[in-house]
Amino acid sequence: MATLLRKIGLIRLHNRDTEDPKHHHNHRGGGGGQQSASLRGKGGAKSGGHKPQQQHPAGGAGDASPGPGKGKGKRAAELAQRDKPPQPAAGAASGGGPRERAAGARAGPGPAAAAAAAGGGSLVPAARQQHCTQVRSRRLMKELQDIARLSDRFISVELVDESLFDWNVKLHQVDKDSVLWQDMKETNTEFILLNLTFPDNFPFSPPFMRVLSPRLENGYVLDGGAICMELLTPRGWSSAYTVEAVMRQFAASLVKGQGRICRKAGKSKKSFSRKEAEATFKSLVKTHEKYGWVTPPVSDG
């Protein structure tokens, strides 16, 4: 009887173990955990100094914490990046992009640029003077060429001391029906000699022109050989006027003003002076600016 009861109890226990999945699962899980623990212990003892092979389950907590090798490699990369010297940006090496250039413009010029700008102020007058000299030289060279090609030999030019800006001009012809032309024939005067000096800003300012010889009377020729012509003043001058045109106008003025060669004893031998001509010209310009280019009152000379 006792033997039968033990057999029945064992059968029930066996049935319960087979029918209860949870109990069956726990029973197997516990055994598996112990078995895997024992295997890990044996594996650790057998491997000794060997590095165990790591296995990373997909999507688990192992992805968040790097292994020993990865941690050392990352640390070395950080140290290398920190020790690496900073590289200039591509935009800065090539002058910078729009933002960099705008920032540089707001910051203002550097010391070298400021010094160049400060020194450039003194160079402006010199550069302007050089430009004016070039313009004047080109114009006068063209004038000389044009005069040399004149077919009627109305005038001829000689440079004073080989200076391009100081001319002695010979007027060979005036109106042949005039008394001045008759005077020239009677006194064996081949030409009327004039001097022209060209200022720095020629052709935008008129030349200073005066008679040298012979000594003339009337014909708008004043003391010192100064010439009373509106086109020789700053107000009446135009850069389009050529030396040939000015000389033709002067020849016409001589005839219109009934100019004559002075034949008075003693006075005819006296030469004109530049200083006297300049003073006379300044005076007549001042007078005409006051009254216009009309005949001034006798009281003003």
- Rounded to an integer, what distance in angstroms lies between the CA atom of residue 218 and that of residue 45? 138
Structure tokens at 280: 């006379």
Residue 84, CA distances (Å) to 70, 73, 78, 88 in order = 21, 17, 10, 12
Contacts for 266 with CB less than 8 Å, ≥ 6 apart? none
Structure-derived torsion over alpha carbons of residues 16, 18, 20, 22, reported in degrees to the nearest 10? 130
CA angle 85, 91, 96 (to 5 degrees): 120
Cα 144 to Cα 98: distance, rounded to the nearest angstrom: 55
| Helix, strand or coil, per DSSP, at residue 279 | helix
Q: Which residue has the tokens 């040939």?
A: 244
Catalytic one among 184, 211, 216, 228?
A: 228
> Are 200 and 133 a contacting pair, CB within 8 Å?
yes
Number of H helices, E strands in the chain: 9, 6
What is the rounded radius of gyration, in angstroms, for the C-alpha atoms of the chain?
A: 57
CB 207 within 8 A of CB 199: yes
Q: Reply yes or no on whether 132 is catalytic.
A: no
The H-or-E segment that residue 245 falls in is: helix 243-256
Structure tokens at 222: 């004043």
How far is residue 193 from each of residues 251, 272, 286, measured CA to CA in Å? 12, 11, 26
Catalytic residues: 228
